[in-house]
Amino acid sequence: MVMKASLQLKMGQSLTMTPQLQQAIRLLQLSTLDLQQEIQQALDSNPMLETPEDDDVADGNESSPENDSDDQGEETAAATESAADWDESENGPDWASENDIPDNIPDDLPVDTAWDDIYQSAPAPAARNDDENDSDFETRNSPAETLQDHLEWQLNLTPMSERDQAIAHALMDAVDERGYLTSPIEEIHSGLADDSEDDPLELDEVEAVLHRLQHFDPPGVFARDLQECLLIQLNQLPPDTPWLSQARLVITHYINLLGNRDYAQLLRRSRLKEDQLRDVLALITGLNPRPGDSVDRAEPDYVIPDVIVRKHNERWRVELNPEIAPRIRVNASYASLIKRADSSADNTYLRDQLQEAKWFIKSLQSRNETLLKVATRIVEHQQGFLDHGEEAMKPLILSDIAQAVEMHESTISRVTTQKYMHTPRGIFELKYFFSSHVSTDEGGECSSTAIRAMIKKLIAAETPKKPLSDSKIAAMLGEQGIKVARRTVAKYREAMHIPPSNERKRLV
């Protein structure tokens, strides 16, 4: 067999992911907090990068009023240049000027590609808040007090024998996050009795300690069920509280009727008049069925908006938040140390760091130009929402914005994830402005977000004694020309955490 070498020419297309493109993609999908961390890491690792503040400190001018004024003017100019209206939607913020970069770099940095085929995003870390005030920082970042911590603190202040303290700790271990005792008291007694063979523990002792613990804060804690929880809270109210005895009567004997909102039976059996029952229910509804929630609360997440929307001269303007990331530039002093035709290790290191710094700055510019461009198109499309609220929200899908900015849909999806817009109506994630549509009788389209707002408005205006059913709401929307099925109304209502009509029924 004879092997013969030959040359063949083939044509094909392939996507090559350069390190620079990978960096641009990664920066584009980062949230504001992650971007700040990424920029800080770049400043720490690359000596070619610096902030204008670093340069001022090095020159010893950080305390000069003139320099402070210049810095403020520079920041103001940067913020002004970042503003965009419908005729200037492609302007980006002044993150770095050409004078900050010694050599020319390509202007066209591709950021549009099939994201899901290239970069798999990792879960974003929990949001954190930085504050210059030390005391406020410690308050916000200290571990939140749990219900167990709160109960333990009160137990340490309560005079008890060692025997009773052991019982109290056993009872405390059986309390869940709601504040309820989850284990039967007989079971707790049985577990403690096995450890006290010399001096047998009586069930009455456990009951006595439990009654003492039921006076702890928050009121209603250590209850074994809802009925006991509410009665504990009623018993801690002043004796002269109006309608206190009637409230105890309703909770003790008719709590099931109250839960089913069977007010007709409740009026007949309690022998109360309607206006009297109304006052009794007002007292009961002021109680807390989940006392533990008042102590064991989740820490809030703090959101920093990426984009700010303001109305100026009757036109909505969009600008990037100048506070989301520090201004960075290439350190001209270090860049001037690079020598051409020098292949030494030090010179090669400086040249590589300079190239990385230039690409990083260019990637930041590209990220913010893309974000501003997308946010501008969203605001242009949703001016009705900004002027009139949720009911004026228009249907919008990713492909609409993708076509407007000439990018791939997956790119728009990444750009709008974990990016927030500050508007006069509040702070919203960019994804909030996207919604499906429902047909109208006139052949038009209505946003699902607008329909949710209409449903919420109808329910807020309903008669408490006779709440609107999902079918009735669908019929009322149909009268406004919106074609929506009963099951769609139910789905939207559940998404807004609004209970069904039988649970919304009130006596008043």
DSSP string, 312-379: ETTEEEEEE-TTSS---EE-HHHHTT--TT---HHHHHHHHHHHHHHHHHHHHHHHHHHHHHHHHHHH
Residue 349 domain-assigned (yes or no): no
How far is Cα 117 from Cα 15, in angstroms, rounded to an integer? Answer: 11
Does 55 fall in a domain?
A: no
Look up residue 177 and give its DSSP letter: T
Pairwise pLDDT comparison (494 vs 140), residue with the higher score: 494
| Residue 52 near residue 95, CB atoms below 8 Å | no
Residue 487 has pLDDT above 70, yes or no: yes
Listed in sequence order, the residues at least 6 apart from 507 whose beta carbon sits closer than 8 Å to its beta carbon are: 263, 274, 277, 278, 281, 464, 465
pTM (2 decimals)?
0.61
Side-chain half-sphere CA neighbours of 260 within 13 A: 8
pLDDT over 50 (residue 122)? no
Continuous segment of H or E residues that includes residue 203: helix 203-213
- Can you tell me the distance from the alpha carbon of 286 to that of 281, in angstroms, rounded to the nearest whole number? 8
Domain contains 202: yes
Residue 240, pLDDT > 90, answer: yes
Percent of all residues in the chain with a pLDDT value above 70, rounded to a whole number = 75
The residues that bridge with 45 in the sheet, in sequence order, are none
pLDDT of residue 310: 92
**Is pLDDT larger for residue 78 or for residue 482?**
482
Is residue 54 pLDDT above 70, yes or no?
Answer: no
Residue 351 CA to residue 21 CA, distance in Å, equals: 19
pLDDT at 81 over 50: no
Residues facing 181 on adjacent strands:
175
pLDDT tens digits, 137-168: 454 555 667 899 999 999 999 999 999 999 99
CA distance 115 to 415: 11
pLDDT at 65 over 50: no
| pLDDT single digits (tens) 248-282 | 999 999 999 888 888 888 899 989 898 899 899 99
Residue 84 in this model has a pLDDT that exceeds 70: no
Does pLDDT of 212 surpass 70?
yes
Q: Is residue 255 a part of any domain in this protein?
A: yes
Rounded to whole angstroms, the Cα distance separating 446 from 437 reads 5
In a domain, 262, yes or no: yes
Rounded to 10°, the helix 345-381/398-405 angle is 120
CA pair distance 436, 416, nearest whole angstrom: 16
Instruction: Report the pLDDT value the prediction gives residue 441, as an integer from 0 to 100.
Output: 62
Give me 201's structure tokens: 């523990």
Q: Which domain, by its residues, includes 234?
A: 147-294
Is 154 part of any domain?
yes
pLDDT of residue 86: 41
> Could you tell me if 308 and 319 are in contact, meaning their C-beta atoms sit under 8 angstroms apart?
yes
Question: Has residue 22 got a pLDDT over 60?
Answer: yes
Residues of the chain above pLDDT 90, percent: 30
Bridge partners of residue 420, in order along the sequence = 429
Is pLDDT of 458 > 60? yes
pLDDT of residue 465: 82
User: Would you say 54 and 46 are in contact if contact means Cβ atoms under 8 Å apart?
Assistant: no
Q: Is residue 29 part of a domain?
A: no
User: Max alpha carbon distance in the chain (Å)?
Assistant: 111
β-pair type (307-312, 420-423): parallel
In a domain, 398, yes or no: no
467, 459 Cβ separation under 8 angstroms: yes
Q: Residues 489, 449: contact at Cβ < 8 Å? A: no
Number of domains in the chain: 1
Strands, DSSP E only, in 198-350?
307-312, 315-320, 329-330
